[in-house]
Amino acid sequence: MKAVKTDLPRLYMVSGNQGFSCPEKQFPELVRRVTALVPVVVQLREKHLAAKALFELALTVKRHIHATGSLLFINERFDIALAAGADGVHFPENSCPLGKAAAFLSGRIAGKSTHSLEAALRAEADGTDYLIFGPVFETPLKKRYGPPMGLGKLGEICRSVSVPVYAIGGITPQNTRQCLEYGAYGVAAMSVFHASENLEGTLENFHTAFER
């Protein structure tokens, strides 16, 4: 297995779609609460923000994230990741080619979203450090990401690559154990963190799923 540059947390939180009226204020607060309780990868993905605002938001959340053992990744914009001192960059499926960006990452972690085995193998060949694969389960966001691909497909991807794979799409603490049993390294989610009435309980349940 390819050595991961840092021990990646098993829980991965993607920003955006949290339904915040003011993400610049509410998102740092959510990050502060989550990172205080569990190690997590926070991927900043705020496509509506201009680069300056995204850069400033990255600096703000980085303070909470680096005060704990968590990691900050930036979606796609590796220039902002470098400028803000983030730990990694996450490339969406239709991003600038990973191979072209890699030379500029100076040791940062690079990840890639994939929705097929073919894309997963290509991303691994391009040098990705981890993959996000999905949607595994039904999700309210499925219009954007297509129909669920199921645990079987997740298992196939995990068997076919040697980099860590995060399952995404309809992830809950209850189905996390299944994802791990099918070979996922961890799970990634967006709305579960915000929709949760009881954030502490949700995080505790995720933690238990990883420990079992």
Partner 1 sequence: MQAAKALRGGATMVQLRHKSASGSELYEWASSIQELCHTHGAACIVNDRLDIALAADADGVHLGQEDLPADVARRLLGKDKILGVSVSSVAEAEKALQAEADYIGLGHIYPTASKQKSSQPIGPGSIAEIARALPLPVIAIGGITGKNVCEVIKAGACGVAVISAVADAPDPEKAVSLLIKKMQSCLQ
* Binding residues for partner 1 (CB under 8 A): 50-53, 55, 76-80, 82-83, 91-92, 94-97, 100-101, 104
Q: Which is nearer to partner 1, 10 or 112 (CB)?
A: 112
Q: Which is nearer to partner 1, 78 or 130 (CB)?
A: 78
Least CB distance from residue 112 to partner 1, whole Å?
12
Q: Which is nearer to partner 1, 24 or 79 (CB)?
A: 79
Q: Which is nearer to partner 1, 97 or 147 (CB)?
A: 97
Question: In residues, how long is the chain?
Answer: 212
Q: Which is nearer to partner 1, 10 or 115 (CB)?
A: 115
Least CB distance from residue 55 to partner 1, whole Å?
6
Q: Which is nearer to partner 1, 85 or 140 (CB)?
A: 85
Least CB distance from residue 208 to partner 1, whole Å?
37
Least CB distance from residue 93 to partner 1, whole Å?
9
Q: What is the 3-class SS of the chain, one letter each residue?
A: CCCCCCCCCCEEEECCCCCCCCHHHHHHHHHHHHHHHCCEEEEECCCCCCHHHHHHHHHHHHHHHHCCCCEEEEECCHHHHHHHCCCEEEECCCCCCHHHHHHHCCCCEEEEEECCHHHHHHHHHCCCCEEEECCCCCCCCHHHHCCCCHHHHHHHHHHHCCCCEEEECCCCHHHHHHHHHCCCCEEEECHHHHHCCCHHHHHHHHHHHHHC
Q: Which residues of 33-60 are buried (b: 16+ CB within 10 A; e: fewer)?
A: ebbeebbbbbbbbbeebeeeebbebbeb
The partner residues of 167 in beta bridges, in order of sequence, read 133, 187
Least CB distance from residue 99 to partner 1, whole Å?
9
Least CB distance from residue 54 to partner 1, whole Å?
9
